[in-house]
Structure 1
């Protein structure tokens, strides 16, 4: 009987501990979601020594005509009008298959609109569109490199810039790491690049300290 009473008496304590652990997990999940949903620009890094490669280094990912391009950071100095991609990670809605996080970006400011960025499975071009347009293609899992700086797709940092017109560069996913052989005409210039996250709204020290105190 004493053992039974002790067991009953312990129930509120166990329940309280379980609730505390559950709440802690929820808080950690919320914090992780906030980190992954932090909006960022995508900046291009290129180590090549050619003049064309050097022209790509320091460029920014932009969107126009349902495709992903590289252009100047300053919108006023771009070859063609384009929207600056402002992206973040979020789970891709797929009922049949778990594809992990997708990559969402603003595609216009007025009206404010978001689209998924994806790699076309037939051409390896990076494009953007709604769920219907993207679901048949490579939509995830999008992630960051170990240092949380680089942008990767399906655990690979395999980005390439393809010169589609003179000085006009589109972003491709070099899925086989072979310079896009079989996807891009050999007459076109293909340059290996990396894409880095440039967080748009970085928290100030005071905000960080306040978060640590709560």
Structure 2
């Protein structure tokens, strides 16, 4: 009888602990979702010593004509008008292929509009578009490096910049790590780069990739 009584009196305690664990998990999930949905600029870093590499270093991802280009962080220095990408991670609503998080960016401020950033599977260019335009291509899983600063796709950092015209650079994904052989004209300049998250609204006391920035 004593054992039975102890078991009964323990039930509220066990239930309370279980509910507390569930609630904590929900809170952790919400916090993680909020962190992954924090908007950031896509900043370029290039360690090369060539003139072109130094030009690219600290430039920024911009959107125009359905492609992701690399241009000056200061819009007044750009030769062509473009929208500065303000990106964040969110689950991609795919066709049950479980491709994980996609990368979304604003494409205009007025009116406010969002599109998916994706890799064109036929050209390896980074482009942006709606679900219909993106779903047949490489849409995820997008993530960050261990320090949460670098942007990665399918657990890899395989980013390159391609000079399509004189000092007009586009962002590509070098999926085969071969300098985009078979995808771009071999006469074009291809430069290895890293792309990083420069948080737009930075947490107090936090440090991010913006330590190098504008």
- Residue 9 of structure 1 corresponds to 9
- Residue 93 of structure 2 corresponds to 93
Gap runs ≥5 in structure 1: 206-214
How far 1:8 moved relative to its partner? 2.1
Gap runs ≥5 in structure 2: 206-214
Question: What are the within-5 Å matches in structure 2 for residues 118-137 of structure 1?
Answer: 118-137=118-137
Separation in 1, partners of 2:195, 2:159: 7
Is residue 2:113 matched to residue 1:113?
yes
> TM-score scaled to structure 1, two decimals?
0.93
User: Alignment partner of 1:28: what SS?
Assistant: helix
Kindly provide the CA deviation profile for residues 120-153 of structure 1, in whole angstroms up to 9, marking residues without a partner as x.
Answer: 0111000001111111111111111111111111
- Residue 45 of structure 2 corresponds to 45
Kindly provide the CA deviation profile for residues 89-135 of structure 1, in whole angstroms up to 9, marking residues without a partner as x.
Answer: 11111242111111110000000001110000111000001111111
Separation in 1, partners of 2:155, 2:96: 21
Separation in 2, partners of 1:107, 1:135: 18
Separation in 1, partners of 2:150, 2:47: 15
Q: How many residues end up aligned between the 2 structures?
A: 205
User: Alignment partner of 1:8: what SS?
Assistant: helix
Separation in 2, partners of 1:201, 1:96: 33
- Residue 30 of structure 2 corresponds to 30
Separation in 2, partners of 1:64, 1:5: 71
Separation in 2, partners of 1:203, 1:147: 15
> TM-score scaled to structure 2, two decimals?
0.93
Separation in 2, partners of 1:181, 1:85: 28
Kindly provide the CA deviation profile for residues 39-94 of structure 1, in whole angstroms up to 9, marking residues without a partner as x.
Answer: 10011101112211111111000000100000011111101000000001111112
Separation in 2, partners of 1:173, 1:127: 11
Separation in 2, partners of 1:104, 1:112: 13
Separation in 2, partners of 1:31, 1:129: 28
User: Alignment partner of 1:149: what SS?
Assistant: coil
How far 1:167 moved relative to its partner? 1.2
- Residue 210 of structure 2 corresponds to none
